[in-house]
Amino acid sequence: MKQFLTPLLLLFASSCFAQTVSTLTASFNASGGVAYRDGFVYVADFGTALNQADGTNVYKVDPTDGSFSVFATGLSGASGNSFDSQGNLFQSNIAASSISKIDTNGIVTNFSSIGVQGPVGIAIDSLDNVFVANCGNSTIRKISAAGVSTPFASNSTGLLSCPNGLTIDENGNLYTCNFGNGNIVKIDPNGVVTLLTVMPGGNNGHLTYANGFLFVVDRGGNSVWMVSLEGEQVLVAGSGFCGKLDGVGNQATFSFPNGIRATPSGDTLFVNDAVPLCNSNLNPIVVRMITGINSAVGIKEESYKPISFSLSQNYPNPFNPSTSINYELGITNYELGRLSIFNTLGETVKEFEIANSKGSVIWDGTNEIGKNVSSGVYFYELKIGNQSQKRKMVLMK
């Protein structure tokens, strides 16, 4: 899918990476969704693993010093969450297929289970209607403030695949990101479902909305992206490799990040990611903070030439002995293009100069000196100027 970068997004990219990633907390068990209110971060515990949603708590984190404490307990696979206008936290329970209401004192009551099936993301509109992303049957449910539950969006288009995160803009449009694939899907106030864009990692965590942009956790790509409401993508943080490195946005590393929430100003993002490095264990986690978002998106729009390019998934994948990687550059000065192949340690295995505006690269599983590399997971990245796209492939021998 081509990504067309408007002048504003180019300014974001050119000012990157003013964004900085830092680790806020010590490790604790809170692998679910992230919410924010009145200066505190609230993190739910999904559980031990994807097939073991046994988390029961929501934690309250003070971002000024990284301290945390149990805010609410008695949940069942606590995943996505969101606050209403009265300060009540609505929490999805994926293991119980129910939605809990948690008051300002941390008291938990059942809100609704009607039509709720494997719930994950929650978004709440200005009338305190609660929208629920049903991972279990790939639908969106609407529950009124009074608790009346009705269908809102079906999966007749086939665009939903275990919808995970859920957020809402000021016009009442919902946005969800799939766990089952890379789709970011827009759902208008009438429940009409359309595809906004596809994230490169192929497997999404949650997403949040601030200042006219979506911020999406690309779980499979160990990264966080800014997405315009037209579907344009710009990397905010994450090199794509698995790790726990803080620092400048594009150099920082994550380990299967999941939840995300923006502050009301939109200048700071909070993300939780696993301490175990990209294996089946979701817990324990740490809370990471990404600052400097508004340093880019607040810049006045100026006139820059748009860049567009596309990088396809390699075929075949998995492969042996060789695979083809197709690309297309929508610019004229494509001599700056370079396609690089990395191993899981971030080491460059091989590089290819891009000599044509459209074509393919054949990789035969060898390094720069022609030696065969071992079986395993590899990444390939197409980089043009400040912009890049990265995908994963598997060599099997």
344 and 220 assigned to the same domain? no
pLDDT at 201 over 90: no
321 and 280 assigned to the same domain? no
pLDDT at 334 over 60: no
377 and 285 assigned to the same domain? no
Give the range with max mean pLDDT: 34-43, 292-301, 312-321, 376-385.
Answer: 34-43
Would you say residue 116 lies in a domain?
yes
141 and 252 assigned to the same domain? yes
Q: What is the pLDDT of residue 4?
A: 39
Dump pLDDT digits (tens) for 83-114: 999 999 999 999 999 999 999 999 999 999 99
Would you say residue 298 lies in a domain?
no
Dump pLDDT digits (tens) for 241-269: 999 999 999 899 999 999 999 999 999 99
Q: What is the pLDDT of residue 333?
A: 46
The C-alpha atoms of residue 161 and residue 138 are separated, in whole angstroms, by 6
Domain boundary among 259, 291, 323: 291
Would you say residue 326 lies in a domain?
yes
Would you say residue 366 lies in a domain?
yes
CA-based nearest residue to 179, from 82, 253, 257 = 257
Would you say residue 6 lies in a domain?
no
Q: What is the CATH classification number for the domain harbouring 253?
A: 2.120.10.30
More confidently predicted of 297 and 6: 297
More confidently predicted of 382 and 53: 53
266 and 362 assigned to the same domain? no
Question: Per-residue pLDDT averaged across 61-89, rounded?
Answer: 98
pLDDT at 128 over 50: yes
Question: Per-residue pLDDT averaged across 50-54, rounded?
Answer: 96
273 and 316 assigned to the same domain? no
Please classify residue 171 by burial: count the beta carbons closer than 10 Å to its beta carbon, then call 0-12 exposed, 13-18 middle and 19+ buried: exposed
Q: Which domain holds residue 332?
A: 310-395
Side-chain-facing half-sphere of 121: CA atoms under 13 Å:
30
Would you say residue 2 lies in a domain?
no
More confidently predicted of 335 and 53: 53
pLDDT at 121 over 50: yes
Question: Per-residue pLDDT averaged across 227-238, rounded?
Answer: 89
Would you say residue 9 lies in a domain?
no
Mean pLDDT value across the chain: 89
Question: Per-residue pLDDT averaged across 270-285, rounded?
Answer: 95
Q: What is the pLDDT of residue 328?
A: 83
Question: Per-residue pLDDT averaged across 53-82, rounded?
Answer: 98
Q: Lowest mean pLDDT of 59-63, 127-131, 175-179, 198-202, name the range.
A: 198-202
345 and 229 assigned to the same domain? no
Domain boundary among 243, 259, 291: 291
pLDDT at 76 over 60: yes
75 and 165 assigned to the same domain? yes
Q: What is the pLDDT of residue 53?
A: 97
Q: In degrees, to the nearest 5, what angle opens at C-alpha 270 toward C-alphas 266 and 275?
A: 160
Would you say residue 95 lies in a domain?
yes
Domain boundary among 291, 321, 351: 291
- Structural domains in the chain (count): 2
pLDDT at 297 over 60: no
pLDDT at 148 over 50: yes
Q: Lowest mean pLDDT of 179-183, 230-234, 296-300, name the range.
A: 296-300
58 and 206 assigned to the same domain? yes
Contacts of 194 (CB under 8 A, 6+ apart): 157, 159, 185, 186, 187, 188
pLDDT at 57 over 80: yes
Q: What is the pLDDT of residue 387?
A: 67
pLDDT at 300 over 60: no
150 and 206 assigned to the same domain? yes
Q: What is the CATH classification number for the domain harbouring 364?
A: 2.60.40.4070
Q: What is the pLDDT of residue 306?
A: 39
237 and 357 assigned to the same domain? no
More confidently predicted of 188 and 340: 188
262 and 345 assigned to the same domain? no
